[in-house]
């Protein structure tokens, strides 16, 4: 399968749509990490965050973020969840770093930066006729870890965008060549839950992955993690186009992009999620056979773009920097 065309997307949308796909604008770009380093202002590395304005440095698991938030950057206006990843930087041949901007998926209108979020029932074209249990208030999880040095999780991938609709091939490491329309970072989360714990010390062991990457059906959940939850995924479009001048790339031919925790291979890519849908909105959507008529409330692009939070970490993230934010060398 090559480029995923708009016509194909519309054709699928016309059949039994088995996923929620929506855009959320950027809420904030800051050194905060409420799951891994709760309370740290600043945290070790920079993140880009989307979703509700209940996001802050602590995010106490006993409080429901949907109760605290008053606006969201997501087009579904009942979704006050937060979703975040590391931030991509370009490291020029002279050793200085420049933050790479994000741009929205072409299908989703003029949102400011942000990401595309998916909640799949089973796969792109079928709901699988299985019960999908929505996450509960206080639920959180992460996928991937910065320390990882190999690309073994099939759900963590990159696509070198030839145009905005390119979806294949996917690679485990950053693309090695300039990408004409930027780089898409993909994070698929596990969809099997232990049914008991809203979180776990490593933010991952309460979940189990039976997926093999992509938007295909995951295998059956094991007895240890028997509850099927929505298959959550993020797509982030990094606009690397301003950095495609190869004379600025490393002289040894390696690629110049690094994650904000100084990862030039890309294997340490990670995503974080705090559930925050209001009431039973997500459960109702997952229970509906056709997600086209899911009854979820939406808001305009302008409303999504207007939701932001205050910067509690005030530091330069946008000049040509001699070190990455929070890194000493
Ligand atoms: C985060 O928000 C909660 C609830 O409003 C509040 O109790 C907490 O102090 C906030 N944390 C920070 C670091 O602002
Ligand atoms: C490093 O290279 C970038 C890209 O050409 C340039 O904008 C920046 O000013 C340079 N910085 C230094 C310190 O030479």
Q: pLDDT digits over 105-147, tens only?
A: 877 789 999 999 999 998 888 888 889 999 999 999 999 999 9
313 CA distance to ligand 1 middle (Å):
15
Kindly list the distances between the CA atom of residue 49 and the CA atoms of 28, 54, 82, 101, in Å, as whole numbers in the listed order.
5, 11, 7, 13
| 141, containing H or E segment | strand 140-143
- Which residue shows structure tokens 């890309």? 266
DSSP letter at 241? Answer: G
| Predicted local distance difference test score (pLDDT) of residue 269 | 98
Tokens for 242, please give them: 């301003």
- Residue 302 pLDDT > 50: yes
User: What percent of the chain is modeled with pLDDT above 90?
Assistant: 83
Other CB atoms within 10 A of residue 62 CB: 7
Closest ligand, as measured to the CA of 312: 1
Q: 298 forms bridges with which residues in the sheet?
A: 76
pLDDT band at 82 (very low <50, low <70, confident <90, very high): very high
Average pLDDT over residues 304-318: 96
| Predicted local distance difference test score (pLDDT) of residue 87 | 98
| Predicted local distance difference test score (pLDDT) of residue 15 | 47
63-90 burial string, b = 16+ CB within 10 Å, else e?
A: ebbbebbebbbbbbbbbbbbbbbbbbbb
pLDDT in tens, 239-253: 999 999 999 999 999
pTM of the model: 0.94
Average pLDDT over residues 299-319: 96
39 CA distance to ligand 1 middle (Å):
9
pLDDT in tens, 163-215: 999 999 999 999 999 999 999 999 999 999 999 999 999 999 999 999 999 99
Query: Do 50 and 84 meet the contact criterion of CB atoms below 8 Å apart?
Result: yes
Tokens for 61, please give them: 């698991």
- Residue 300 pLDDT > 90: yes
| 258, containing H or E segment | strand 257-259
59 CA distance to ligand 1 middle (Å):
7
- Give the start-to-end residue ranges of the domains of the chain: 6-306
pLDDT band at 217 (very low <50, low <70, confident <90, very high): confident
DSSP output for 12-29: HHHS---EEEEEE-EEEE
Q: 102 forms bridges with which residues in the sheet?
A: 238
Query: Do 75 and 301 meet the contact criterion of CB atoms below 8 Å apart?
Result: yes
172 CA distance to ligand 2 middle (Å):
29
Note if the bond before 64 is cis, omega within 30 degrees: no
Query: Do 240 and 217 meet the contact criterion of CB atoms below 8 Å apart?
Result: no
What is the pLDDT of the chain when averaged over all its residues? 92
Pairing mode of beta strands 26-30, 115-120: unpaired
Q: What Rg, from alpha-carbon coordinates, does the chain have?
A: 19
Note if the bond before 42 is cis, omega within 30 degrees: yes
Pocket of ligand 2 (CB under 6 A): 92, 94, 96, 248, 320
The residue whose CA has the least distance to atom 13 of ligand 1 is 57
Atom of ligand 1 nearest to the CA of 39: 13
> How far apart are the C-alpha atoms of 182 and 243, rounded to whole Å?
9
């Amino acid at each position: 399968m090559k480029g995923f065309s708009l016509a194909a997307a519309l054709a699928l949308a016309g059949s039994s749509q088995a996923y929620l796909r929506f855009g959320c604008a950027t809420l904030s770009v800051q050194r905060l990490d409420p799951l891994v380093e709760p309370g740290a202002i600043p945290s070790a590395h920079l993140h880009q965050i989307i979703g509700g304005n209940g996001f802050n440095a602590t995010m106490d698991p006993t409080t429901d973020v949907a109760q605290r938030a008053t606006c969201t950057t997501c087009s579904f206006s009942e979704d006050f969840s937060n979703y975040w990843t590391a931030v991509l930087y370009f490291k020029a041949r002279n050793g200085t770093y420049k933050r790479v901007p994000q741009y929205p998926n072409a299908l989703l209108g003029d949102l400011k930066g942000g990401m595309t979020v998916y909640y799949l029932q089973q796969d792109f074209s079928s709901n699988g006729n299985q019960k999908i249990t929505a996450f509960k208030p206080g639920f959180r999880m992460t996928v991937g870890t910065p320390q990882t040095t190999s690309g073994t999780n099939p759900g963590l991938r990159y696509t070198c965008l030839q145009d905005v609709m390119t979806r294949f091939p996917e690679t485990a490491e950053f693309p090695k060549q300039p990408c004409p329309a930027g780089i898409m970072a993909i994070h698929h989360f596990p969809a099997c839950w232990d049914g008991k714990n809203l979180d776990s010390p490593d933010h991952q062991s309460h979940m189990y992955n039976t997926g093999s990457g992509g938007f295909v059906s995951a295998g059956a959940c094991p007895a240890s993690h028997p509850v099927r939850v929505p298959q959550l995924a993020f797509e982030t479009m990094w606009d690397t186009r301003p950095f495609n001048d190869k004379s600025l790339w490393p002289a040894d031919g390696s690629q110049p992009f690094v994650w904000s925790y100084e990862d030039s291979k890309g294997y340490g890519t990670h995503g974080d999620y705090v559930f925050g849908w209001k009431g039973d909105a997500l459960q109702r959507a997952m229970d509906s056979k056709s997600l086209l008529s899911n009854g979820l409330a939406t808001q305009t692009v302008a409303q999504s773009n207007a939701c932001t939070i205050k910067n509690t970490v005030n530091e330069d993230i946008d000049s040509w920097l001699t070190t990455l934010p929070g890194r000493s060398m």
